[in-house]
Structure 1
Amino acid sequence: MSMVSEKWLSLFNNIEDDEQLDEFLKTTSGDSLQDWEEKFLQYEQWGKDYIERELGTILYDEYNPQEKLRVSIHWLDLFKPICFKYLERLTSFLNKAQCITNTNEFILDIESVFFEICMNMSYRTVVLEINDLRRASRLKGEDSKKRYNYFINTLLKDRDYILEFYKKYPVLFELLDKKISNILDYIEQIILNFEENLLDLESYFNYKDLKLSSIDFNAGDTHSNGKSVCILRLNTKKKLVYKPRNMSIDVNLSLFSKEFAHRFGLSESLFVPKTLSKDSYSFVEFIEEKECNSLQEVEAYYTNMGKLLAFLHIFGAKDYHGENILACQEYPYLIDNETILHFSEPVNITSNSQNIYNFVTNSVYSVGILPMSLYSANNDKGMEIGALNSGERRESPYLSHQLANVGTDEIRIEKVFKMVGDFPSTVRYKGNNVSCSNYLNEVQRGFETIYKVVLQNRDIVSRMIVKYFENCETRYIYRNTNVYAQFLETSHHPELLKNKYDFEMYLLRLFEYGDVANFFDNVMMKDEVCQFRKGDIPIFYANTSSNEIRNGLGRYICSLDGHSIVNKVLNRITSLSDDNLLRQKRIINMAFMGSELFPKKSRISEEHTNTETITSNIINRISSAKFEFNTEISWLSMVAMNKNYEIYPMDYSLYSGTSGMILGITSIDDTRLRTLLPGVINYTNNYIKELQGNFPVHQLGAFTGVYGYLYTLCVLREEGTPFVEDIEEIIYETLSSTFRHLRNIDNLDIIGGLAGILGVLIKIQKTMLDSSRVTELTQKLSEGVVQKILEKYKKDGFWIENDPGYAHGNYGIITQLYRYSLSNTCKSDAKTSIISCIKEYLDKERSLLCGKNCFPLRNNVKYYSWCNGIVGIVNAKNYLETNEFPDKFLKTEVQDYSNKILNQDSTLDNSICHGSIGNLVILDSILGYSVDIENRIATESSSYLLDKETYECDDWGILTGEMGILMANDRKSRTRLNDILLLN
């Protein structure tokens, strides 16, 4: 292995040696590793010769850029050779142009653009160079600032040093030269197109005596040889947007909107800027952001957003985040419609989870308008990106580069989280951003209006789709633009700019992110590399009728299989229904909920429906919301935390997944529910099988992971439920596959940690007495878990600091430890240690509580709740007391706390986990039957159900959803619900 190939291997994740690299290079480039190494060695000299030739022909010494640029770009002199070369050409071109207001000012503006581009592409290399020079003692001066000034004022003005720098980094010079050359070509093209269409522009936009004052290039990425969206500033103080592509789809969208409004007696609902579209470029009306003049306009804006969401959903649009919609009073303007008609790959669906994922992918969730966040798991940060948003300041969840110690020879690049500006889609009123949180009803109203019009007039709308959108050009998204941007940024690393074949090798890294053997992937990735080579973000377009894919220069790439984009839109229209409308409205509500932008609840009613009506309604709702595929049944689900959420198929968990649904269904004597059971069990079993024993540590827990499924299997076995075969085998294989993971779990709580797993192991030990291999493995696992939990207490004097709560705190651990101490497999020394730890904990607690009215819980919890509040603690104490834990105070404490809980007003949350109904279920198990508790459960359930019917959402599980409420209204199920909470 040579030093060169060793360096190249470090660029790849999946190529481990020279042999693999050689095969990879032959497949992707047609050349062998040996060929590449030879080219690398040849370039070592060729690169230096290239710089000698190029710099020797540019007479830039007398050229002085405008001085004000030095404030933001200290290294102007480094870029003078390149910028001077192309500014000379621009000057020559402008001398012939007739449409420029002031040639000198125009050139100065373009000069700024050129230098900024050079700065952005080379700052990492220059920072490294300054530090290299400092370490080599080549910078003169008494202090850090003077040495930096020596670099600026002496070295960068020395032609020999400029030559030395670019000989060291010849690829940087080549990239800068190509980039500025392409930008200049583009500027000349814009001016020629402006002059050629001058009369049309004046007529179409109603302007007179038009001239071009300047061009702003800050409006987007470059594609197709340096082209980007830019703003044309005119002599009339007006602006036009110049887009380097045909925009017939925008023109037709506007025509479609007008006909739709006229046919169905509506006001216009799609707001598109006026567009003069040509073969390969377009001039577009510049829409100014304007705030609303009244709250009525704010309401109208959000109603229009709902209408827009319906259209975009029906079109199958993607990527309509906050940058692509602009708020102009009550009108949400569509300012980037490249993805309004989106090609989606054919999907081979083999399971219900795939079926549900496919539904979500094609739902309103994927349009981009709804509140949602861009989340970085690495940094545990999220940022709003939805066109509907809170209007709050945004901080990027990704680290960006920023120069530090500027003005010194210790200049460096640091990574920071940068603030990001407001979205243009955020509506404003009286100088303030207006959150969408109070306008969910308006969004829903607008959405339903358009959806129903299309539903009731399918044939007419379908003909309109064909009329306006056949054979249009639309963006084809092969890869996320953020991935492209990051890849391009990294390609400017200094170590890749010394030899062209280092740079080229890095570009081939792209082939790791696709299937080289697949013809489509292969041709697409080769074209991506070609576009990156020019410093552009790759871009592709599809024909809406033929599925032909072309790159931004119009070069044919290939044709895609499957229905055309237009046919897929027609199929979407055919699939519209009242049931689907309800599903979409649920997702809209869930997006607002998950982003914590949901309207604040109020107590709706204190009257209650009778229990039979409540249970019947919930059963009907659960049944009608199911997704069925082949022999599998499941539901949609959502997980949300810290304003970040995800909508996906229900998992197999006990907390909110199908394990909990199975326990709910089997505890209620209802034929409608029982017919669902085989399908739900099939879904759960298949879901588990697909994982093939590869359970991440965070998906092992009793309530959030696979151990909850094992708990459910034990309950089914105890009941003799006939739908699951090989329960013993499933349990044994799962225990075996997770054995090694248990050592790596630091979380001790009952929800996702070791205490919950211990609770399930106790259940298995009790249920599987006829299987010696299961019980032996269970005992071994239990002993290890208990030892780890006890060691933690002995070391720290607590299990979880400052959190006595049940779900994530000490009382969940205490309960399962005591349960274990009662089992036949618990050894006497372990039992003694458990009793001792619990007694010591209770003594400390009472000492701490002396004279206090409130139990000290962790921060930001609901005091009266099962999960983290006092209710879960009382339930745990009650378990200890009823199972004869040796403590004389428990009975009184349970009685006193239970009475306090009973006398509390109801909360706005009614769920089992952290709401009123869960509290009442636990009180019922402690205090026994009472008419008062029964009535209160019915009242709270009525309120819950009315709230759900008002704001529909997919929330069906037992701890936060409707199955839990259903179980609370059935006495037999209520007992099971409490058993689940305790893992009995």
Structure 2
Amino acid sequence: MFESIYESLVKEKLRDFEKDLSVLTRGYEEAERELINVRKIKKQFKDYLKGELRDISQTLLIADINEQRQGVFEFWDLYPDSQYKQYIDRFFDKYYYERFIARYKLWHERIHRTMDLGYAFLLEVIKRYLNDLDKLRTKRLLKRAGEYVLQEVEFLGDKRNSGKCTVRCKINEDYVIYKPESGRIFELYGKLIKLVSGDDNYKILNMLQGNKYFWAEHVTNYRCNTESDIREFYKNAGFMLALAYLMNAVDINDRKVYAVGKYPVLIDAETLSSTNLFSKKVTKGRKLFDRSVFKTAIIPMHYSRENKDIIEHNALGDVIFVARSESDITDEFTSKAKERWEVRKYKGKHTHLPKLSGESVPVWEYVDDVIEGFDEGYDNIMDSHPAIYKLLKDYENTKIRISLRNREFYSQMLKKLNSPELLKDKETTQDYIKLVFTDSSIDEYSLKHEIQQLMRGDVPYFTTLLKDRTVYTQEWDRALKRRYESPLECIINKLDDFSKEDKEKQIDFIRSAFDYDHCSLAYFDNDKNIESVVNEWIL
């Protein structure tokens, strides 16, 4: 529904696509050979933009056409499909469109910002592909020899950092990932995980570092050959958990880890470290939680009593069931047309789990292997204190992302902000967001910048350097007035606190995460999570 409106808006944006690409590729052509499949990429990007406009506009357009059906005399004697056709025909009439824009100012700003930033980002990715093609070959990110042609550019994940996101490029038959951020945190992770595991062959992401961006291999879920490999995988996951615990990592979920043979491979490390952003009004339980292995999101924290499915996106555990809020249009083309929203549950891809004989193998029979890896990794960290400290100092200027809230919260908030009443003016929308955030423990200055980014339709994006006590917005405006410990200070303080007693406590937490029936910290009601249970436990 309304596809012709989206088509018209996108067509106008892409009218100079071939000309812009011609300018971009000038000087790069090899013996007049095509380096880019222009037609295919243009169609793919057009479909992407139409999907973005649909997400922003669909609810609004349904409300608007139904309003016209009730108040416009010319509609009264027409059949529903004729009413729809007339609405489409008159939408871009100068008088009607100007009134529509005047009424829904935020809608107009958001759709054009989405198209402008997306288009600029597409050209950026293509230009960097052209610049780096020889390096991609040398780094063996392109495995198949031949005359390379960029076939596809697919935008993935959340839009943040001024409309940018992760991109999957298809070059001939090879896939390669482009990320618009520094890859130095991956370099640090690679060196640390080999130190913590004692395994110089520990599988890490193959990548090519650019200036404020990097290319990485497209990782696929690779099976294990024997049960011994499964046990090795979960022991290696224990090493990863020990390192994530040391680094105060957050949000290391199932989407950020791929099972590649006997190794869990981290494919997104931007939240490998963190700092405390919360006000002083936090409970003892929250402080304990924030200093525990649970904070990493690698192990489960919340269960459903009914079927014992893990309903979080943790990187260890079972097959993930994804709950998504989705909509259908009911009574299409009639005056009763509306969006019907419901939460639907899908079986996830579970690429974070190792495979044996074509079947994913969950952790339940291998918890002792996870604990063995964590135990050994923890001891290796204690024994390698000077080497780890030196590595951290060498990488103290590395940028990391600071997560204020979880991804699903932002996803649902952005859907709500596409409601007609919230696309009219900034004041109404700001007041609504402030109302939702009334009980937020995040400081007011950060909250202000968080709201500004949501207003633009972005997932809020905050960063800092490992050594820095100040958190910044995506524009590098200072986001925090108060000073906290830097991520590096948090890591060093935790490293100094490593002890046999702390290790045993964290191992007890790991056991509790996978023991449904016998641990008071594990068997939660649907409306409880580990934070509330820990809070009750220690008070």
Band the TM-score falls in, shorter-chain normalisation: 0.7 to 0.9
Q: What is the rounded CA distance, in whole Å, between the counterparts of 2:193 and 2:389 in structure 1?
A: 14
Deviation at 1:290? 2.4
Deviation at 1:555? 3.4
SS where residue 454 of structure 1 aligns? helix
TM-score by length of 2: 0.86
CA contact (8 A) 1:375 1:644 kept: no
Deviation at 1:479? 3.5
Q: What is the rounded CA distance, in whole Å, between the counterparts of 2:484 and 2:478 in structure 1?
A: 18
1:388 corresponds to 2:316: yes
Give the aligned partner of residue 401 of structure 1: 327
Give the aligned partner of residue 305 of structure 1: 237
SS where residue 332 of structure 1 aligns? strand
Q: 2:383 aligns with which of 450, 453, 456?
A: 456
Cα 1:543–1:414 change in 2 (3 A) is same
CA contact (8 A) 1:204 1:276 kept: yes
CA contact (8 A) 1:390 1:597 kept: no
1:565 corresponds to 2:501: no
Give the aligned partner of residue 122 of structure 1: 57
Q: What is the rounded CA distance, in whole Å, between the counterparts of 1:268 and 1:358 in structure 2?
A: 36
Q: What is the rounded CA distance, in whole Å, between the counterparts of 1:425 and 1:139 in structure 2?
A: 54
1:518-562, Cα deviation, whole Å (9 max, x unpaired): xx9343233223323332111010111122322223334457534
Deviation at 1:357? 4.1
1:82-119, Cα deviation, whole Å (9 max, x unpaired): 21221113232122233743211211111111111110
SS where residue 308 of structure 1 aligns? helix
Amino acid aligned to 2:513: A
Give the aligned partner of residue 212 of structure 2: 280
Q: 1:476 aligns with which of 374, 383, 402?
A: 402
Amino acid aligned to 1:253: Y
Deviation at 1:390? 1.9
Give the aligned partner of residue 321 of structure 1: 253
Aligned ranges 1:490-501 → 2 under 5 Å: 490-499=416-425, 501=427
CA contact (8 A) 2:225 2:356 kept: yes
Deviation at 1:443? 0.9
1:449-483, Cα deviation, whole Å (9 max, x unpaired): 1112222333333333333x312111122344333
Deviation at 1:509? 4.9
Aligned ranges 1:682-721 → 2 under 5 Å: none
Give the aligned partner of residue 152 of structure 2: 214
Deviation at 1:268? 4.1
Amino acid aligned to 2:353: T
Cα 1:373–1:260 change in 2 (3 A) is closer
Amino acid aligned to 1:565: P
Give the aligned partner of residue 459 of structure 2: 537
Give the aligned partner of residue 189 of structure 2: 253
1:244-277, Cα deviation, whole Å (9 max, x unpaired): 111211122223344556xx5x3544x4311222
Q: What is the rounded CA distance, in whole Å, between the counterparts of 1:363 and 1:512 in structure 2?
A: 27
Aligned ranges 1:680-759 → 2 under 5 Å: none
Cα 1:554–1:280 change in 2 (3 A) is farther
Give the aligned partner of residue 333 of structure 1: 265
Q: Which runs of 5+ in 2 are unaligned?
A: 29-34
Cα 1:415–1:486 change in 2 (3 A) is same
Cα 1:582–1:294 change in 2 (3 A) is same
Q: What is the rounded CA distance, in whole Å, between the counterparts of 1:640 and 1:455 in structure 2?
A: 33
Q: 1:244 aligns with which of 174, 180, 203?
A: 180
Give the aligned partner of residue 169 of structure 2: 232
Q: What is the rounded CA distance, in whole Å, between the counterparts of 1:114 and 1:418 in structure 2?
A: 25
Cα 1:292–1:411 change in 2 (3 A) is farther
Structure with larger Rg: 1
1:101 corresponds to 2:39: no
CA contact (8 A) 1:244 1:282 kept: yes
Give the aligned partner of residue 640 of structure 1: 524
Q: What is the rounded CA distance, in whole Å, between the counterparts of 1:553 and 1:650 in structure 2?
A: 38
Give the aligned partner of residue 289 of structure 2: 360
Bigger relative CO (Cα 8 Å, ≥ 6 apart): 2
Q: What is the rounded CA distance, in whole Å, between the counterparts of 1:333 and 1:490 in structure 2?
A: 34
CA contact (8 A) 2:275 2:485 kept: no
Deviation at 1:589? 0.8
Q: 1:174 aligns with which of 74, 88, 109?
A: 109
Amino acid aligned to 1:240: V
Give the aligned partner of residue 413 of structure 2: 487
SS where residue 95 of structure 1 aligns? helix
Deviation at 1:181? 0.9
Q: 1:428 aligns with which of 355, 375, 387?
A: 355
Deviation at 1:430? 2.7
Cα 1:450–1:162 change in 2 (3 A) is same
Deviation at 1:120? 0.8
Give the aligned partner of residue 789 of structure 1: none
Q: Answer with 224-233 or 196-205: which moved more.
A: 196-205
1:152-197, Cα deviation, whole Å (9 max, x unpaired): 4443134436566545534322221111111111111112222222
TM-score by length of 1: 0.49
Q: What is the rounded CA distance, in whole Å, between the counterparts of 1:651 and 1:198 in structure 2?
A: 53
CA contact (8 A) 1:290 1:428 kept: yes
Cα 1:138–1:332 change in 2 (3 A) is farther
RMSD: 3.3
Q: What is the rounded CA distance, in whole Å, between the counterparts of 1:452 and 1:349 in structure 2?
A: 34
Cα 1:427–1:300 change in 2 (3 A) is same
Aligned ranges 1:38-117 → 2 under 5 Å: 74-98=1-25, 100-117=35-52
Amino acid aligned to 2:216: V
Cα 1:565–1:87 change in 2 (3 A) is same
SS where residue 259 of structure 2 aligns? strand
SS where residue 580 of structure 1 aligns? helix
Q: What is the rounded CA distance, in whole Å, between the counterparts of 2:534 and 2:273 in structure 1?
A: 29
1:206-250, Cα deviation, whole Å (9 max, x unpaired): 535433222111x21111221111111112x11111111112111
Give the aligned partner of residue 365 of structure 2: 438
Deviation at 1:365? 1.4
Q: What is the rounded CA distance, in whole Å, between the counterparts of 2:109 and 2:83 in structure 1?
A: 23
SS where residue 16 of structure 2 aligns? helix
Cα 1:640–1:112 change in 2 (3 A) is same
Deviation at 1:432? 2.5
Cα 1:651–1:129 change in 2 (3 A) is closer
CA contact (8 A) 1:318 1:340 kept: yes
Give the aligned partner of residue 126 of structure 2: 191
Q: What is the rounded CA distance, in whole Å, between the counterparts of 1:106 and 1:365 in structure 2?
A: 42
Give the aligned partner of residue 584 of structure 1: 506
SS where residue 384 of structure 1 aligns? coil
CA contact (8 A) 2:192 2:243 kept: no
Q: What is the rounded CA distance, in whole Å, between the counterparts of 1:651 and 1:371 in structure 2?
A: 17
Q: Answer with 224-233 or 97-106: which moved more.
A: 97-106
The percentage of aligned residue pairs carrying the same residue is 18
Cα 1:258–1:457 change in 2 (3 A) is closer
Give the aligned partner of residue 31 of structure 2: none
Deviation at 1:278? 2.2
Q: What is the rounded CA distance, in whole Å, between the counterparts of 1:588 and 1:407 in structure 2?
A: 54
CA contact (8 A) 2:279 2:443 kept: no
CA contact (8 A) 1:639 1:646 kept: no
CA contact (8 A) 2:169 2:176 kept: yes
Give the aligned partner of residue 299 of structure 2: 370
Q: What is the rounded CA distance, in whole Å, between the counterparts of 1:574 and 1:567 in structure 2?
A: 11
Q: What is the rounded CA distance, in whole Å, between the counterparts of 1:154 and 1:345 in structure 2?
A: 52
CA contact (8 A) 1:338 1:475 kept: yes
Misfit runs of 4+, over 6 Å: 346-350, 649-652
